[in-house]
Amino acid sequence: MKSNYSNLDFLRSIAVLLVVIAHFWHGCVDFHLCVYSDAMNQLLHNMSFTGVMFFFVHTCLVLMLSLHRAPAMHRIKNFLIRRAFRIYPLCWAAILIALTAGLTDLPITLLHSLGARGIVVNLLLMQNFIRSVPSIIGPLWSLPWEVQMYLLLPLFYFVLRRYEPWLPALPLWLGAAMLAFVATNSRFPRSFHAAVFLPMFIGGMVAYQLLNRQYMLGGVTRKLPAFLWPYFVLALVVAQSVIVGWKSFESPLGALLNACICLVLGIAIPSFNDLSVRWIVWPAEKIAKYSYGIYLLHVPAMLIAFHAFTRLPLAIKTVAFLALTGLFAFASFHLIEDPLIQLGKRLTNPASELDESGIEKTAEDVAKANFLHAEIDDEFSPLVSIITPVYNAARWLPEMLASVSAQTFKRWEHLLVDDGSTDGSQSLIETASHMDSRIRLLRMERNGGPSTARNLAIAAARGRYIAFLDADDLWLPEKLTRSVEWMSMHGYAFIYHDYRHLSHDGARVGALIKGPEILDLRTLHTRRGTGGCLSVVLDRKLINEFSFPANYRLQHEDFYAWMSLIRYGHLGHRLPADLGRYRLSPKSRSANKLNGAYNTWLIYRDISNLPFLRAAIWWLQYAWNGFWLYRAARPRYFP
């Protein structure tokens, strides 16, 4: 899932600029370049705090999206490792500069009194726990709250995902706002005032859930014009400064008003179209990219500018300050931030397993290798590879091909694998390929079954996305558009959508069949829900390897394939939209329900290796769900 990145860049750039402006004015006062004013001090204090609020809302949303995109396997550990490599290295560099060069806004007497304990507390970003230890440079004060958010965010993420249909972020915000209102009462110790930060983080969670909800309720929704977004953000800055006033931290009313501002911001983020005006987007993108360096290193830059140009006008000092801040941020990003971020990614990406068996590669092995190294299109113009195994399906091919041709998403290639047909299917595909160059015919030398045929097509596919359509099934026109939008918006690697059964003659359809919201090992064994291959779409940019078990003789090879994906950490996610038709045929492999149930039991015991009791319980749930699903979704008067 993706949010409006240009809008988020603008929000983050405004946040960091508010902090920088406030610190610069205080620096001017300290160096006797500006006249101190209580009103100006309070105004800039509130603006700086507003910037931190915006930071927290923005950061929480971005991190929720990061958790959302991450594979389920080792999600929390990998998340925490990456965040540590993101926040600590530059923080330590800023502390080192302050200690060695004295470039700090902390009074020298306090700096000298820190001792080893104070330095360690700053390095670990725990100043908010040990209040007797000041931050070595002013901007460090907010980072401990961010680090502690990292520790709690996975828990919040799982709560939000578990109860997603009820939008739990809203009641969580309400509880956090009430807690902040009570905790800032003067009767409580000042340490309780930390509760004011929780509604800020939950504002980002609200934005995350609303982004989810937009697509769960039918895709792209009508949004406010993009040109209003900058005005809206600046209006929130003014509102916080004017309405909240001097009570930002201490007053229960101030804490509640700040919580409301963060909620409004969280609701607004998904409600605006993307900014596209380049003179706004480009600088916002650059400031956001280097924002962490700007945030931490503008204080040393300011001190150098004030010390080095003592007799020059304030305008010269200001230009020098801005230039040094930009230079420090640029250098720190490319020398410290980005290399350490990439190191964190490498440490949390499992190495590909190598085949050391020495045996000759099968079609399954070729599919895996090509899936890993295939040509991946740019994410803004993805190519979808549609894979169809064909065996004596001449009767259904014209209707199936027409459903693909009718797709509103046009960047696709259709790989049809003739699996030794004898009914003229091959000539029909050849004719179709002459009429549409996006259609490609692949041939099997002998009949190898649908899994082998699909693996051959996977090996030849060039698209970023892989979609599966059997020769007798159909898609609705919005199938690919909705699927690509859904996966791009959410960052999913593996999705499936709702569908209906279609009678053998195509004249009648059944009730809507909905899969589970999340396809994990339990729901895969007890509910299935993907409609076989019909509804599944995979993002090969996120999945390192994938193939069907070509040598597995039992039915339900798709079950085995999805189970392999889940075990590699790629959970399936439901797209709540009716986009396909699964044709029921008395002669199909899936028509014999008793044989299918027996094969399912064998899979549970021999492939999934489930203990007998768990296999029996899950198999009974599968049989029960399958029975009622089959009865309820069956087209009336099915032949």
Share of the chain above pLDDT 90, in %: 48
pLDDT tens-place string over residues 11-60: 999 999 999 999 999 999 988 888 998 888 888 888 899 999 999 999 99
Non-local (6+) Cβ contacts of 619 within 8 A are: 525, 597, 600, 601, 604
For residue 429, give both structure tokens: 């595909």
- 261 and 162 housed in the same domain: yes
Same domain, 254 and 397: no
Confidence at residue 530, expressed as pLDDT on a 0 to 100 scale: 67
Q: Which two tokens stand for residue 78?
A: 């990998």
Higher pLDDT, 245 or 407: 407
Segment 445-457, tens digit of pLDDT: 788 888 889 999 9
Domain boundary among 278, 295, 315: 278
Does the pLDDT of residue 73 top 90, yes or no?
Answer: no
Q: Residue 351: CB partners within 8 Å, gap ≥ 6?
A: none
Who has greater pLDDT, 623 or 293? 293
Q: Tell me, what's the pLDDT at 630?
A: 55
Query: Per the structure block, which two tokens stand in for 633?
Result: 């979704």
Question: What pLDDT shows up at residue 605?
Answer: 57
CA distance 128 to 144: 7
Instruction: Say if residue 383 is in the same domain as residue 532.
Output: yes
> Are the CB atoms for 57 and 251 separated by under 8 Å?
no
105 within some domain: yes
**Most distant pair of Cα atoms in the chain: their distance:** 95
Q: Please write down the long-range contacts of 614-621, taking CB distance under 8 Å and 24 or more positions apart.
A: 618/522, 618/525, 618/526, 619/525, 621/525, 621/526, 621/527
Is 90 exceeded by the pLDDT of residue 441? Answer: yes
3-state SS assignment for residue 574 = strand
Does residue 293 sit within a domain?
no
Q: What is the pTM of this model?
A: 0.61
Considering its fold, how many domains does the chain have in total? 2
Q: Which range of residues forms the domain containing residue 463?
A: 363-633
Task: Calculate the alpha carbon distances from 460 to 140, 375, 432, 436 in Å.
Answer: 52, 10, 19, 18
| Per-residue confidence band for 477, with pLDDT thresholds at 50, 70 and 90 | very high
Strand partners of residue 502? 509, 583
Please report which helix (H) or strand (E) contains residue 308, including its range: helix 291-308
**Residue 212, SS3 per DSSP:** helix
Between CA 256 and CA 494 the distance in angstroms is: 41
Q: Is 557 within the bounds of a domain?
A: yes
CATH number of the domain within which 378 lies: 3.90.550.10
Q: Read off the DSSP letter of residue 130.
A: S
**Nearest by Cα to 266 from 311, 316, 200, 180:** 200
Q: What's the rounded Cα separation, in Å, for the pair 477 and 466?
A: 17
pLDDT digits (tens, 9 = 90+) for 564-588: 888 788 889 999 999 999 988 755 5
Domain stops at, among 278, 298, 317: 278
CA distances from 237 to 7, 176, 203, 240, 249 (A): 16, 22, 16, 5, 16
Contact present, 391 and 570 (Cβ < 8 Å)? no
- Nearest of 233, 308, 314 to residue 271 by alpha carbon: 233
Lowest mean pLDDT among 44-48, 552-556, 615-619: 552-556
Residue with tokens 């499936």, as numbered in its chain: 496
Residue 334 DSSP code: I
Residues 551 and 410 placed together within one structural domain of the fold:
yes
Quick check: 237 and 55 in contact, CB under 8 A? no
- Whether 314 maps to a domain, the answer reads no
Rounded to whole angstroms, how far apart are CA atoms 85 and 339?
Answer: 9
Contacts by residues 169-176 (CB-CB < 8 Å, ≥ 24 positions apart): 169/202, 169/205, 169/206, 169/208, 169/209, 169/266, 170/206, 170/209, 172/202, 172/205, 173/199, 173/202, 173/203, 173/205, 173/206, 173/259, 173/263, 173/266, 176/202, 176/259
96: which residues sit within 8 A by CB, 6+ positions away? none
- Computed over every residue of the chain, the mean pLDDT equals 83
Q: At CA 497, angle to CA 495 and CA 502, rounded to 5?
A: 140
The answer to whether residue 287 sits within a structural domain is no
pLDDT over threshold 90, residue 119: yes
Q: Which of 85, 114, 103, 169 is CA-nearest to residue 139?
A: 103
> Per-residue pLDDT for 2 more than 80?
no
Residue entry with tokens 């930390």: 194
What pLDDT band is residue 363 in, cutting at 50, 70 and 90?
A: very low
| Domain termination site, one of 278, 305, 329 | 278
- Residue keyed to tokens 């709690």: 152
Q: How many CB atoms lie under 10 A from the CB of residue 120?
A: 12
Average pLDDT (330-344) is: 94
- Kindly state whether residue 303 falls inside one of the protein's structural domains: no
Q: What is the DSSP letter of 91?
A: H
CB 61 within 8 A of CB 8: yes
Evaluate whether residue 357 is within a structural domain. no
Q: How far apart are CA 360 and CA 345, in angstroms?
A: 33
Q: What is the pLDDT of residue 219?
A: 43
Tell me, what's the pLDDT at 94? 95
Q: Are residues 377 and 238 in the same domain?
A: no
Question: Do residues 270 and 372 share a domain?
Answer: no
Within a domain: 460: yes
442 sits in which H/E element: strand 439-443
Beta bridge partners of 541: none
Q: Give the residue from 243, 192, 179 showing the smallest Cα distance to 50.
A: 243
Length of the chain: 639
Q: pLDDT higher for 512 or 287?
A: 287
Residue-level pLDDT at 416? 95
Q: What DSSP string describes 499-520?
A: EEEE-TTSS-EEEEE---SEE-
